[in-house]
Structure 1
Amino acid sequence: MATSTVKYLGGLRTECTHLQSGTVIHTDAPTDNHGKGEKFSPTDLVATAYASCMISLIGIYCNEHGHRYENGTATVTKIMAANPRRIGKLVIELDLRDNGWDEQTIEKVKRVALTCPVAKSVSEDIELEITFHV
């Protein structure tokens, strides 16, 4: 079964529909690549998916191991590279404070986050700077 559909709306914008849920995301080309930057760009979605995947995988781990997980946010900075145009660097800051984890749990959570499927799917050429605040 297909995962999604993508429709070109004109003006360098697309409408992406998740077929199982019907959720819709609109994209716009970024201002540094002929767009208006009024919505997520496709590369913004990749960068954001990386952090979302990490936070979700931490949730799975905590659920499976009986750990409290009520506080988790990420700030993502995407830096583009040229020749070829691509994501050159991702700076991800994960704020996981105030979950009451001991040092052993913190180390396991960090290791789990770094094994997320998105991390394993993006190019190894992307420079990563990942900071955990715990």
Structure 2
Amino acid sequence: MIKVTANNGKENYLIGIQTPTGNSVMADEPKEKGGQDKGFSPKELLVSALAACTNATVRMYCDRKGWNLKNVQIEIELIEEDGKTIFKRKLQFEGNLDEGQRQRLFNVANVCPVHKILTHDITVDTALL
């Protein structure tokens, strides 16, 4: 189970997010939405989760296979239109990889855990503390 805690003090929209293991990140809204742009926006955090998970999954796969992957570059654009959400993801694999390996990494990217979460049924169960 993954758990985070988010707290907002006196600064509008500036949110400290912590994990039980002591990691932290700041979230904020852009200035045009009343924030101070001192951290990732919530949607940037969502897109970042997909980018980080994709990157780590591809890297782990290459490490296990002993493939010569020098860098994974991932660009993701979040598009919201007509009641639909699209994550437009572009992958670039740098290293001495043949076309078969590149295609396999493309397939591996599509099964990272965050990709699976985003493409399956999602329920948000909210309660007051």
TM-score of Structure 1 vs Structure 2, range by shorter chain? 0.7 to 0.9
The answer as to whether partners of 1:2 and 1:19 remain within 8 angstroms in 2 is: no
CA contact (8 A) 2:14 2:36 kept: no
User: What is the correspondence of 1:29-40 to structure 2 with a 5 Å cutoff?
Assistant: 29-31=29-31, 33-40=33-40
Greater share of residues in strand: 1
| Equivalent position SS for 2:52 | helix
Q: How far is the alpha carbon of 1:76 from its aligned partner?
A: 2.5
Partner deviation per Cα, 1:5-64 (whole Å, 9 max, x = no partner):
2111330121011222x2210000235644333421111111111111111101111111
> 3-state SS of the aligned residue for 1:35?
coil
Report the equivalent of 2:102.
106
| 1:66-115 CA-partner distances (Å, limit 9, x unpaired) | 112221122222234476xxx82222222213x11112111111100011
d(CA) in 2 for partners of 1:119, 1:34: 31
Runs of 4+ in 1 over 4 A off after TM superposition: none
Match of 1:63 in 2: 63
The runs of 5 or more residues in structure 2 that have no matched partner are 121-129
Instruction: Please state whether the residue corresponding to 2:69 is helix, strand or coil.
Output: coil
**1:1-134 matches, cutoff 5 A:** 3-9=3-9, 10-20=11-21, 22-31=22-31, 33-81=33-81, 88-97=85-94, 99-122=95-118
Q: What TM-score do you get using the length of structure 2 for normalisation?
A: 0.77
Separation of aligned partners in 2, 1:108 and 1:2: 29
Mind listing any 5+ residue stretches in structure 1 that lack a counterpart?
125-134
Partner AA of 1:19 in structure 2: P
Q: Report the identity percentage.
A: 23
Task: Find the residue that maps to 1:110 and give its secondary structure.
Answer: helix
TM-score (norm: length of structure 1): 0.75
RMSD over aligned Cα atoms: 2.6
Q: 3-state DSSP class of the match of 2:90?
A: strand
Task: Work out which structure has the larger RCO, using CA pairs closer than 8 Å and 6 or more positions apart in sequence.
Answer: 1
Could you tell me which amino acid in structure 2 is paired with residue 64 of structure 1?
R
Aligned length: 120
